[in-house]
Amino acid sequence: MNVPDYGFNRRVRINKKGFALTLDAAIAVIIALIMITGATFYLSQNSHLNLEDPQFIISMDSLAMLEKNGGLGDYITSGSTTKINGLLSGLPYESCIRLTFYYVEGNGGMQKAGSLGREGCGYPEDYAIARRLFISGGSVYLAELVGWRR
């Protein structure tokens, strides 16, 4: 007696494939959650990486403005601090900054090329760091601006 095949065998194979795909997806979700948790933990531990901190925003804006008006390049090529001093004088009294320049070597190393900052600010306890790469005279430099409040 022949029993009609209603596709039960095919359904079993589909269910086995579905189980493997579901298991793969579950493992991928678990790995993604572990990575997100790790990144969140790391970012919460780094107190100097607060993107909403007003001092960080002032630091990033100051570097962007100095690059756009040529102040970073002027300091490297001629040692001129005119545009940088103009920025310093325009900042609020309670905002302090220290600007350090590094020459980026071809092998990835860096050499300090100069440093300046606002006078009478003391040593910071809580600060924000902003960094910006720029090109001057065909060489790559890194400007690091450390900002804090008095």
pLDDT digit of tens for each residue in the chain (150 aa)? 566 555 555 554 555 566 667 788 889 899 988 888 887 776 665 555 556 777 778 788 888 888 888 888 888 888 888 888 888 888 788 888 888 889 888 777 888 888 888 877 877 777 888 888 888 888 888 889 888 877
Q: Determine the distance from the C-alpha atom of residue 113 to the mean position of all C-alpha atoms in its chain, rounded to a whole number.
A: 22
Task: State residue 70's pLDDT score.
Answer: 85
Would you state the pLDDT for residue 8?
Answer: 54
Other residues' Cβ atoms within 10 Å of the Cβ of residue 49 = 13
Contact by Cβ (8 Å): 53, 35: no
Instruction: Give residue 44's pLDDT.
Output: 64
Calculate ∠ Cα 20-22-25, nearest 5°.
Answer: 110
Stated as kind and residue range, the H or E segment containing 112 is: strand 110-117
Ordered strands of the 139-149 beta sheet: 110-117, 95-104, 139-149, 127-136
Question: pTM value?
Answer: 0.60
Whole-number pLDDT of residue 2: 65
Contacts of residue 63, Cβ cutoff 8 Å, sequence gap at least 6: 72, 130, 131, 132, 143, 145
Domain ranges of the chain: 1-45, 54-149
Residue-level pLDDT at 7 = 55
The total of other beta-carbon atoms located within 10 Å of residue 48's CB is 13
H/E element holding 130?
Answer: strand 127-136
How many residues make up the chain in this entry?
Answer: 150
pLDDT at 136: 83
Is 104 within 8 Å of 110 (Cβ atoms)? yes
Selection from 48, 42, 82, 77 nearest residue 66 by Cα: 82
> What class does CATH assign to 54-149?
alpha beta
Q: Looking at residue 47, what is its pLDDT?
A: 52
